[in-house]
Structure 1
């Protein structure tokens, strides 16, 4: 399927615009999110600190007494009981009848009023200072806070993993939304309820360090998902006796980030399609001269050299049209003279090809002659029945001279047998001469001649050398080095030279800057 130039331009511009808009909107969203979260966190902390500041010394003593009464009424609280409470979950250690009685004590009711006053301070309208009921939590009240509660440490959990509810502003079960049933967030919180905060690091900080803090991200628990602030309540000695928790529902009307996300996504979709349509119309207008050039090029392809393109304007497209017209005129002139030019150029190419072929034949002859000189030197002359040697040579240059196929290069392999003090040894050499083709073959020829000469001298007529094998290796290396020094650096050979004792497998070898040898066992 062919896609028009105008549509391609439109899609490209639309995607660039979408990318730029996305980057900008994401940047502003992250900026707004950071500022909104910082402001919400500050407000939660300020509300909590204000509430704690209003709790008098006498009321703090009441909190201590209430905590003591709750601890006395609970039953069966041990390590196994606490371990069964899940993260963010709760358990009721006080029998329902005892919890109901504790809920009518002066200390508990006073705590509930304190917490309701803290919530009332976040209502849309101010209230008269009178005993408050739980109905101030109705949706139409539009309170900033969803929950206000007091938590206290318990001796059974010295690391504060599990804490106790001293009181909650919403300890009664009331159908606030009028749907005829008690939803999860409408369940009451009875006195003494145990609550696990293991997965709430900021709440743990408030207990352990006694600092005012807040959650760093929305935190789920058994009642919902919240932004929470935590303010420790201390006695006269600075000991934390309880922590005031204030929760803001992440789904409240105060959380505008979700609405902003939807608005941003809708804006991006509108921007994309508006840009796509606009860019397509503009691209069609700009592409009209290009379409004319394309049609003219198709006519030239059909050998119609009389075509001319007329584009108004002196911009780049107009200059392109003028250049196209000039090119067509030149093609028309060349077309008229093409046959003569082709014949002349063909003759020149054939002559050049003939000369090149002659040179190649000569060169291949030189290559073939070199292989006739070098191949006899690269022989596997090892006759041992216990230690075998095999060669695999693939030279860099492969060529054919007349009917013969051959290879030429600087790689060489040589093996043979030698005796030291009555012991039979196998000599092997693998090397590579510097350079390609002829240059490498020259080095290989010299090296092959040297190795074969040394072997003939050392092993002719089953000669038994009366020197140590190590000495022979040293003398051989020195002799090869002296010969190559006479070339004044114009010829180099890397290689591995070694000897293996046939009876024991002992081996001496040296490596002259050659790739490491692989031993096959």
Structure 2
């Protein structure tokens, strides 16, 4: 127990719990016990008060019944005469209006009264009647006989006669006929007859029902500005049995009311004391009850820290002990499963690392192989300068460019973009590159069955010069490559946009096919002279596609710039494209060499993408015919 008193609050405070479970449990136990105690004490208090008041009420009713029997026929007659005199002396105003005026003026809080006589002289006249004095004295005798002694604190405070007010069928308003006033005991502080003829609403609930002919008495006390009372209403009947008045007996229970009030506060003090004591006991008990839960919590914390050797020991011979045994069994199984899983993860991780290393090695080989496909170094020609940029988005790429010599001292220029990225695109890039190289030199391979000579002649839009026709033969490689890819690999959906041009470096004449590729740009001295739009579809998409051959006459100083969509569609971190417009703005700036132009474009693209990942391969190829120096 001592250990739990020390450890539980510290553990809860350490975890930052401002209203932990043991406090809630203690508070619940305390509130439950106090609620039961409070309900019990309230019931005892109510029963005690009811019993005391019931005894007094029965005693008061018995006294009233006995005294009412002492009224003689002459007394009954006198009461009737007094009632008539009071009625004659009353004002004609409705008694209800009098009471409403009294209420508006701030009358008694518990009993509203209003004078119903015409004047005080009328009241004095009635009081001085012999019949009134007889009845008043009789009422005074009743008051004085029931008073035990001068020191008694439970006694009849006053005796009086009332009748119902005119037009008050509900008996809520009564009228005073007579009272014991001047005949009360010597120590009475009120000996006047001031209430004769008054209308009032009684505080007692026993007076009105007594007009039905049965004696009544209050079961609870009521209070007004003078004291606390219980009242008995005793019917006074004439010879025919008709109730002509009700005798009211007010018993002063102020002392008992004070005692009951004191008893109530005593009970409240007991409840508060019980609450404090029960809180202390409940919190101690709650800490003891919560101790096994704390042990389970500490064990769970250790398991969370991967200590699967944790064992929680609880010896309470209840459900918490069973819970601890289940917890220990679960932790043991979890530890075994976790160790097995860790061993499997370790082995699988080793295998994945080995596979990753092998894949990375293969990709490095593929990257090197792909780099070997690119012409390095670039072809050097007198009065011509060629430059290229190649930045793959992944280890290997689908973009490529090529520059190679063809029979007849022609130069083949290729820039292409295979759809998709990565390994698949890289494999098709090698296939496209090889086919273009092999079949563009077909005019020298006489033993091959393929005859691009016929193919290219069908593509020309006008009859070429003899030297031009020879220059177009190599372009037939595009149609051969297209038909092969569609037939043999059409199910893969792979294709390439491609520009293939054959340049006569001596004359600057170029014949070309643009298979769905970005338009190449011809510029000179910062001015865009021409763009080479597509002359056919992408290569590898449509069976037996036809590709028109275009011609271009370059002049000294002209530059031909080719690029893939990885340049214009490079995105910034906010998703903004680099754009064709921005590319053109760089090309139209003054540049001394194609190499410097491509480096500037590359620098701007890198700055534009900033921290955004590279989405597509970036490839550029530029050729410039320099003016010979004499």
TM-score between both structures, scaled by the size of structure 1 = 0.52
CA apart distance, 1:7: 1.9
Structure number with greater Rg is 2
Partner residue of 2:336? Answer: 333
Determine if the alignment matches structure 1 residue 168 to structure 2 residue 184: no
TM-score between both structures, scaled by the size of structure 2 = 0.44
Deviations 1:397-421 (A, max 9, x none): xxxxxxxxxxxxxxxxxxxxxxxxx
Deviations 1:352-376 (A, max 9, x none): xxxxxxxxxxxxxxxxxxxxxxxxx
1:271 to 250, 262, 274: 274
Q: Distance in 2 between matches of 1:12 and 1:199?
A: 43
Question: 1:85-104 to 2 correspondence within 5 Å?
Answer: 85-86=99-100, 88-104=112-128
Number of paired residues? Answer: 323
CA apart distance, 1:277: 0.7
Aligned 8 A contact 2:165 2:199 in 1? no
CA apart distance, 1:21: 2.2
1:245 to 230, 243, 248: 248
Shift of the 101–173 alpha-carbon distance from structure 1 to 2, 3 Å rule, reads farther
Shift of the 142–338 alpha-carbon distance from structure 1 to 2, 3 Å rule, reads same
1:285 to 265, 288, 292: 288
Partner residue of 2:459? Answer: none
Question: 1:25-44 to 2 correspondence within 5 Å?
Answer: 25-44=41-60
Partner residue of 2:199? Answer: 195
Partner residue of 2:237? Answer: 234
Shift of the 276–82 alpha-carbon distance from structure 1 to 2, 3 Å rule, reads closer
Q: Distance in 2 between matches of 1:40 and 1:255?
A: 15
Shift of the 155–274 alpha-carbon distance from structure 1 to 2, 3 Å rule, reads closer
Q: Distance in 1 between matches of 2:260 and 2:270?
A: 15
Question: 1:148-159 to 2 correspondence within 5 Å?
Answer: 148-153=159-164
Question: 1:92-241 to 2 correspondence within 5 Å?
Answer: 92-125=116-149, 140-153=151-164, 162-170=173-181, 188-190=192-194, 192-197=196-201, 202-207=206-211, 209-215=212-218, 218=221, 226-241=229-244
CA apart distance, 1:198: 8.1
Q: Distance in 1 between matches of 2:148 and 2:344?
A: 95
Partner of 1:145: helix, strand, or coil? strand
Q: Distance in 2 between matches of 1:172 and 1:195?
A: 22
**Unmatched segments (≥5 aa) in structure 1:** 126-135, 347-521
Determine if the alignment matches structure 1 residue 78 to structure 2 residue 81: no
Aligned-pair Cα RMSD in Å: 3.9
Aligned 8 A contact 1:212 1:232 in 2? yes
Q: Distance in 2 between matches of 1:297 and 1:59?
A: 94
Determine if the alignment matches structure 1 residue 58 to structure 2 residue 74: yes
Partner of 1:84: helix, strand, or coil? helix
CA apart distance, 1:206: 2.4
Partner residue of 1:359? Answer: none
Q: Distance in 2 between matches of 1:114 and 1:195?
A: 23
Q: Distance in 1 between matches of 2:66 and 2:347?
A: 102
Q: Distance in 2 between matches of 1:43 and 1:345?
A: 99
Partner residue of 1:17? Answer: 33
Aligned 8 A contact 2:141 2:183 in 1? no
Q: Distance in 2 between matches of 1:159 and 1:323?
A: 75
Q: Distance in 2 between matches of 1:215 and 1:37?
A: 8
Partner residue of 2:605? Answer: none
Aligned 8 A contact 1:94 1:192 in 2? no
CA apart distance, 1:160: 5.5
Partner of 1:85: helix, strand, or coil? helix
Shift of the 112–343 alpha-carbon distance from structure 1 to 2, 3 Å rule, reads farther
Partner residue of 1:467? Answer: none
CA apart distance, 1:238: 1.7
Q: Distance in 1 between matches of 2:331 and 2:169?
A: 93
Shift of the 304–252 alpha-carbon distance from structure 1 to 2, 3 Å rule, reads same
